[in-house]
Amino acid sequence: MSKRDYYEVLGLSKGASADEIKKGYRQKAKELHPDRNTDNPKAESQFKEVGEAYEILKSADKKAAYDRYGHAAFEGGMGGGGRPSGGGQGDFGSAFSDIFDDLFGNMGGARGGGGQSRASRGNDLRYNLRVTLEEAYAGLQKTVTVPTAVGCGSCKGTGAEGGSEPQTCPTCSGMGKVRAQQGFFTVERTCPTCNGMGQTIKNPCHECRGAGRVEKEKSLSVNIPAGVETGTRIRLAGEGEAGMRGGPTGDLYIFLEVRDHDLFEREVNNLFCRVPVSMATAALGGDIEVPTIDGGRSRVKIPAGSQSGRQMRLRAKGMPALRGGGPGDMFIEMAVETPVNLTGKQRELLREFEDLASDNNPQSSNFFKSVKSFWESMKG
């Protein structure tokens, strides 16, 4: 089957300008890219056909030969300098790399003009900060000291000594990357001479040794909002490491950890406090005083006959909500305490009480009834 006219392949008319050829190629390559046409079995061959046409027409010499002789110019015997490498298939890898940059970006500007600055963004930093539960409840301002990299004051971040300017890297012409052809593919690697910076420094700054930044500790004031919990992350934009050669600064992330508390246990925004209650108070009822996270006190009424594990709620006495909404609640859990180190008189009174209280312990009565029933069933 005869080849289609290269101008027709790109949707152009003969005599199209270099800009029109480039524009037509990009449009057709995007339209026919296999990744965008998974349901079209011919997409790959059509995409290659577009690359072959562009490889010929983008070169002024090859285009002139094609305009004069058509496809015959590249089928042997027509001389010349117009014959493409690859036996008529064109340098598809080179053409593909052009559209790859257009589709997916230019790899950080590697295809930009020579000599452009290769300043790189500084790294983000992480700082782990521990706070107490009381601090998490109230919120606070905290000063932290962070080891980081800051812009060099001696060279003003350029990395070059005495106001001199970095030079365009001779290996990559300022692109920061070098390319090598491997079959149909163009492999792009970081330039080994400038390590991707696109520039070299003949006279490095004596203080930063050409990096454009120096190591230094920095003190920062951090606002910790009320209601934070373990895992909360606070971002301080522009407080990370300074970029290389005057590049933008990274960010600082504060990761919070709330310490365990001796009295309160936290569950989201609710607090739990286990409070010991005497046997007499649990049996007869009464009032007890409990602490709250804000440093205050609350009186709680204990109903007569309360058992261990019983909970009572103090509304809105928990932690504040970090992202709006009302505060949580505080739950008081009773722990009925058995007295120890009894005197003789106390033992005598308890035995007398035990003899009189056989009908006042419903849980014990029900339990032993179930035990008796279990044993009788086992005998049967």
Q: Give 192-224 pLDDT, tens digit per residue.
A: 887 777 778 878 888 887 778 888 888 999 999
Residues 327 and 349 in one domain: no
Q: Which of 258, 289, 316 is the last residue of a domain?
A: 258
Mean residue pLDDT of the chain comes to 81
Give a yes or no: residue 111 inside a domain: no
Give a yes or no: residue 302 inside a domain: yes
The reported pLDDT for the residue numbered 119 is 62
Residues 242 and 130 in one domain: yes
Pairing assessment for the beta strands 252-258 and 125-131 based on DSSP bridges: parallel
Tokens of 28: 């057709």
Q: How many structural domains comprise the chain?
A: 4
> What mean pLDDT do residues 155-170 have?
77
Can you give the residue range of the structural domain that contains 49? 6-104
Q: What is the dihedral of CA 146, 152, 156, 159, to 10 degrees?
A: -130
Indicate the helix (H) or strand (E) that contains 49: helix 43-57
Give a yes or no: residue 352 inside a domain: yes
Are 118 and 196 in contact by the 8 Å Cβ rule? The answer is: yes
Residues 59 and 182 in one domain: no
Residues 275 and 222 in one domain: no
Residues 131 and 97 in one domain: no
pLDDT at 83 over 60: no
pLDDT cut 90: percent of the chain above it: 34
Residues 254 and 373 in one domain: no
Q: Which of 127-131, 238-242, 267-271, 330-334 has the lowest mean pLDDT?
A: 238-242
Residues 247 and 183 in one domain: yes
pLDDT at 93 over 80: no
* CA atoms within a 13 Å half-sphere pointing along the CA-CB vector of 34: 10
CATH assignment at residue 174: 2.10.230.10
pLDDT at 78 over 60: no
Give a yes or no: residue 12 inside a domain: yes
Residues 247 and 181 in one domain: yes
Would the CA dihedral through 175, 181, 187, 193 be positive or negative? Answer: negative
More confident residue, 375 or 318: 318
CATH assignment at residue 310: 2.60.260.20
CATH assignment at residue 72: 1.10.287.110
pLDDT at 103 over 50: no
Q: Which of 225, 258, 291 is the last residue of a domain?
A: 258
Q: Which of 137-141, 313-317, 360-364 has the lowest mean pLDDT?
A: 360-364
Give a yes or no: residue 246 inside a domain: yes
When pLDDT is cut at 50, 70 and 90, the band that residue 4 belongs to is confident
Give a yes or no: residue 116 inside a domain: no
When pLDDT is cut at 50, 70 and 90, the band that residue 360 belongs to is low
Q: What is the dihedral of CA 159, 250, 107, 100, to 10 degrees?
A: -170
Find out whether 172 is annotated in a ligand binding site. Answer: yes
Q: Which of 52-61, 226-235, 273-282 has the lowest mean pLDDT?
A: 52-61
Q: Which of 234, 258, 282 is the last residue of a domain?
A: 258
pLDDT at 108 over 50: no
Find out whether 273 is annotated in a ligand binding site. Answer: no
Residues 182 and 222 in one domain: yes
The reported pLDDT for the residue numbered 84 is 40
When pLDDT is cut at 50, 70 and 90, the band that residue 183 belongs to is low
Give a yes or no: residue 364 inside a domain: yes
Residues 291 and 365 in one domain: no
> What mean pLDDT do residues 245-273 have?
92
Find out whether 194 is annotated in a ligand binding site. Answer: yes
Q: Which of 59-73, 106-120, 269-283 has the lowest mean pLDDT?
A: 106-120
When pLDDT is cut at 50, 70 and 90, the band that residue 184 belongs to is low
Q: Which of 48-52, 108-112, 125-129, 213-217 has the lowest mean pLDDT?
A: 108-112
State the pTM of this model: 0.56
Report the C-alpha gap between 165 and 213 in whole angstroms.
16
pLDDT at 114 over 50: no
Residues 144 and 239 in one domain: yes
Give a yes or no: residue 1 inside a domain: no
Residues 253 and 130 in one domain: yes
